């Protein structure tokens, strides 16, 4: 995966290169202007940018990229005092955000989730791990974190023909599906609590494999139902877990000092969809994404 990392602090750029340089193809920039030039000249899978940059800040940087038609997914790095700016970034299509001081383990986890963002998933269909159950777009997914990116790709591929599905809509749906399917696997099927996840992220060298081994011992499927027309996409996900109370999950806006792993998923989904609701048990979630209207040109 090719990543553009933009930060005006040389020590941060060097640290990022030292930690992730052997795992990813990295290109570093010290200013938004440099990042803009690089992002226009090269193709990146992901952009990570600090909000506070000299002359042109991170929001202006991403805005200019979008104006030039560059739709690369991005992550923003910000301080607690800039949480409102982070919300604005999410509205521009950010797939994640990190509050300073951040842990490199948190970034590593986020990068792993998006590593195969655009990979095809034909092999999963051939292995019958991803099944189309009905023509009404009902899917069944074996709970495997290692397949998460490909599951999302396959679901979105079933929507590719929608005339009102613009790039920003696809990105929002990707973020929502990644977070919610990931939650269904980790917390629903594997029964891992948010507190346990924090500890396991530091204890296990391969957290993804650890979760998948738990899921392999159970005969459970995640059900995904997709309903759509030319105005909106509705997605319902259900797992066989014990459920949870969404009201008890920390909100990073209300409590920026809360765990960087707890609550951010639900928060990110809410910022990318038009409505989000859970059943009473908490093991079924429904979200709606409204689509932009197609402009009909007068002849």
Domain boundaries, the chain: 2-120, 135-290
SS3 state at 11: helix
CATH top-level class of 135-290? alpha beta
Is 18 exposed, middle or buried (CB count within 10 Å of its CB: 0-12, 13-18, 19+)?
Answer: exposed
Bridge partner list, 284: 238
Which pLDDT value is given to residue 119?
42
Which pLDDT value is given to residue 126?
58
Contacts of 255 (CB under 8 A, 6+ apart): none
pTM over 0.85: no
Average pLDDT per 10 consecutive residues for the chain, totaling 299 residues = 91 91 93 93 89 88 86 80 71 77 76 60 62 67 91 84 76 92 94 83 82 92 90 93 81 57 77 93 94 56
Tell me, yes or no, if the two domains 2-120 and 135-290 fold the same way. no
**Contact (CB, 8 A) for 245 and 259:** no
CA neighbor of 121 nearest in space, from 159, 145, 167, 152: 152
**Per residue in 136-148, pLDDT tens?**
688 999 999 989 9
- Provide the CATH number for the domain formed by 2-120 in this structure: 3.40.50.2300
Query: 93 to each of 30, 39, 243, 297, how far by Cα in Å?
Result: 22, 16, 29, 27
Q: Is the four-CA dihedral 144, 147, 151, 152 of positive or negative sign?
A: positive
């Amino acid at each position: 995966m090719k990543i553009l990392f933009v930060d005006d602090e040389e020590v941060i750029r060097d640290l990022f290169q030292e930690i992730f340089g052997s795992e990813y193809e990295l290109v570093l920039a010290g200013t938004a202007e440099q990042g803009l030039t690089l992002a226009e000249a090269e193709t990146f899978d992901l952009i990570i940018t600090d909000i506070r940059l000299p002359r042109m800040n991170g929001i202006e940087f991403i805005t200019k990229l979008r104006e030039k038609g560059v739709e690369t997914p991005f992550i923003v790095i910000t301080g607690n005092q800039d949480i409102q700016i982070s919300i604005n970034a999410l509205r521009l299509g950010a797939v994640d955000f990190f509050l300073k001081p951040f842990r490199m383990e948190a970034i590593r986890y986020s990068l792993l989730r998006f590593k195969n963002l655009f990979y095809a998933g034909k092999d999963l269909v051939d292995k019958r791990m991803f099944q189309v159950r009905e023509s009404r777009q009902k899917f069944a997914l074996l709970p495997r974190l290692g397949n998460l990116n490909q599951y999302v790709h396959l679901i979105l591929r079933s929507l590719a023909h929608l005339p009102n599905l613009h790039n920003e809509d696809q990105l929002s749906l990707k973020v929502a599906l990644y977070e919610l399917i990931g939650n269904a696997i980790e917390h629903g099927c594997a029964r891992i609590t948010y507190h346990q996840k924090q500890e396991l992220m530091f204890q296990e060298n391969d957290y993804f494999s650890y979760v998948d081994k738990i899921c392999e011992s159970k005969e459970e499927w995640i059900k995904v139902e997709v309903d759509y027309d030319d105005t909106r996409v509705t997605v319902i996900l259900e797992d066989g877990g014990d459920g949870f109370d969404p009201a008890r999950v920390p909100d990073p806006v209300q409590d920026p000092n809360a765990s960087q792993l707890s609550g951010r998923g639900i928060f990110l989904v809410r910022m990318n969809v038009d409505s989000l609701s859970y059943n009473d048990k908490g093991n079924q979630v429904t979200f709606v994404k409204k689509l932009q209207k197609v402009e009909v040109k007068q002849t």
